[in-house]
Structure 1
Amino acid sequence: MQIAPSKKTRDRPDNMVEGIYRQLKDDIFEFRLMPGDRFSESEVAERVQASRTPVRQALYRLEREGYLLVHFRSGWQVRAFDFKYFEELYDVRIVLETAALARLGQMDLEGNAQIAILRETWQVSESERLQDAAQVSALDERFHCALVEAAGNVEMARMHLEITEKIRIIRRLDFTQGPRIEATYIEHGQILQALLERRIELAQQLLRSHIEISKQEVRKITLHRLHVARELAGG
């Protein structure tokens, strides 16, 4: 169990809880805390240099969100991967994102700033493509969120963002595989081009296939692959 060194937070209790919460969540996403890892409130409090009260509040928040389990006699544990749960989240993503494409197909995209930014990011030459897995993973997440946001339904975007955060750890694992970076540039570019050409059914088909490939990665996760991801993240 590895927890990142403490980051400075303001003295206000709410800010301290938020800081600890974000730090622990980042530790989970960056594989410093691995599925199955156990730890105590005292260990966290010592690492983040805070009292146990804000630590406990942050831990219970993560427990409510499904990242941790609490064992009343033996401390806390990072929740093991529930593969069926992740696959179901990917299915919901497909529903939301294909619906967003349908809405975008009815809109004037000529001056849409979000779509313009996506084109500048993904429709680039091979020499301009980023190769850093963490950077591409973050940009991939942003691509899908931006498509839903651009569709203009605030509630749809909120739901999609919640799902996005829950599968972030899987997305990080996906991008530890080298070929996925090149494939993501190609697939995102194709989705955007189909959207801009008003070929919405094709765009939806391409998007569905793109997400299904990532969904399949859920079934390939092993403990060894998690440890490799931790090493790549510098854990």
Structure 2
Amino acid sequence: MKALTRPKSLTEIVAESLRDWVISGDMDLGSQLSEARIAQDLSVSRTPVREAINRLEMEGLLTVEPQRGTFVFSLEPDELAKLCDARLSLESAALGFAMQVDAPRLADRLSACVEQMSRARASDDVPLYLRLDSEFHQILMDCSDNRFLNDAYQTIAQKMAALRNRLGRHPDHMAKSYREHQEICDAIARGDEATAQSILRAHIGRKEGSYWEMAIKD
């Protein structure tokens, strides 16, 4: 028996649009939103816009300040450093668990992702490459076989995707990032967790004075 597909509510449609605008970089970090403008652009009333804003505030992508308005999230350099620390803790643990659970499966999935990244770079498809970048790191969570770890990761994953999309215009960062993805994948394929963890630490641990910092300043 085929399951019925529930149509999306207006709130879900608006939330998806806002989420895409924030993550893609169409909205600048720290910029103020206009409920009226969003409602007009999406041809909806303000009610689903307000409800969507509440959802994205819970996701950490928007900040609602009483008497001031609604703003896209922003980070100070010290907050970026703490975000990187949290991400490293979660991804490092996921990598270790994933290699314990099924290292060949992890290697195969990461290798397939890197192959797609290679094709995206060859065709100069930056948006696709950046989506695959996010997917690469999500694979660590998926293969860790730990839904609680994954749940914790989702609280920062969209912020990281939003920052990552703001780095697409920095080709040096992209080239270094791509090389490190390849090196992590190769180390895992060899069963060399120590090297994979070391590369992952260098890959994620870019904080002050880095391209990550440039992303929050632009």
Given that 1:174 and 1:214 are in contact with CA atoms closer than 8 Å, whether structure 2 keeps it comes out as no
Given that 1:83 and 1:218 are in contact with CA atoms closer than 8 Å, whether structure 2 keeps it comes out as no
2:81 to 68, 79, 87: 87
Instruction: Determine whether 1:119 maps to 2:98.
Output: no
1:68 counterpart residue number: 62
1:183 counterpart residue number: 176
Instruction: Determine whether 1:144 maps to 2:127.
Output: no
* CA shift for structure 1 position 140: 0.9
The residue identity in structure 1 corresponding to 2:109 is: I
Query: Which whole-Å CA distance do the structure 2 matches of 1:69 and 1:45 have between them?
Result: 18
* CA shift for structure 1 position 177: 0.9
**Higher helix proportion, which one?**
2
Number of corresponding residues: 211
1:158 to 151, 159, 179: 151
Query: Which whole-Å CA distance do the structure 2 matches of 1:52 and 1:168 have between them?
Result: 27
The residue identity in structure 2 corresponding to 1:95 is: S
Query: Which whole-Å CA distance do the structure 2 matches of 1:37 and 1:182 have between them?
Result: 29
Q: What is the percentage of aligned positions where both structures have the same residue? A: 27
1:230 counterpart residue number: none
Larger CA deviation: 59-68 vs 16-25: 59-68
* CA shift for structure 1 position 84: 2.6
* CA shift for structure 1 position 155: 1.2
The residue identity in structure 1 corresponding to 2:205 is: E
* CA shift for structure 1 position 34: 1.8
Query: In 2 relative to 1, CA 196–91 (structure 1 residues): closer, same or farther, beyond 3 Å?
Result: same
Query: Which whole-Å CA distance do the structure 2 matches of 1:173 and 1:197 have between them?
Result: 33
Instruction: Determine whether 1:48 maps to 2:42.
Output: yes
The SS at the match of 1:152 is coil
* CA shift for structure 1 position 83: 3.2
TM-score by length of 2: 0.82
> Any unmatched runs of 5+ in structure 2?
1-5
Query: Which whole-Å CA distance do the structure 2 matches of 1:179 and 1:107 have between them?
Result: 35
The SS at the match of 1:50 is coil
Query: In 2 relative to 1, CA 203–42 (structure 1 residues): closer, same or farther, beyond 3 Å?
Result: same
TM-score by length of 1: 0.77
> Any unmatched runs of 5+ in structure 1?
1-10, 226-235
Query: Which whole-Å CA distance do the structure 2 matches of 1:126 and 1:48 have between them?
Result: 36
- Cα deviation, 1:130-182, whole Å, max 9, x if unaligned, reads 43221111111111110121121111122223311122121112232112333
Query: In 2 relative to 1, CA 155–71 (structure 1 residues): closer, same or farther, beyond 3 Å?
Result: closer
**Aligned-residue RMSD, C-alpha:** 2.8
- Cα deviation, 1:81-131, whole Å, max 9, x if unaligned, reads 333333212111111111122223323433x2x532321332689788443
Instruction: Determine whether 1:78 maps to 2:72.
Output: yes
Query: In 2 relative to 1, CA 50–90 (structure 1 residues): closer, same or farther, beyond 3 Å?
Result: same
The residue identity in structure 1 corresponding to 2:150 is: A
Query: In 2 relative to 1, CA 193–61 (structure 1 residues): closer, same or farther, beyond 3 Å?
Result: same
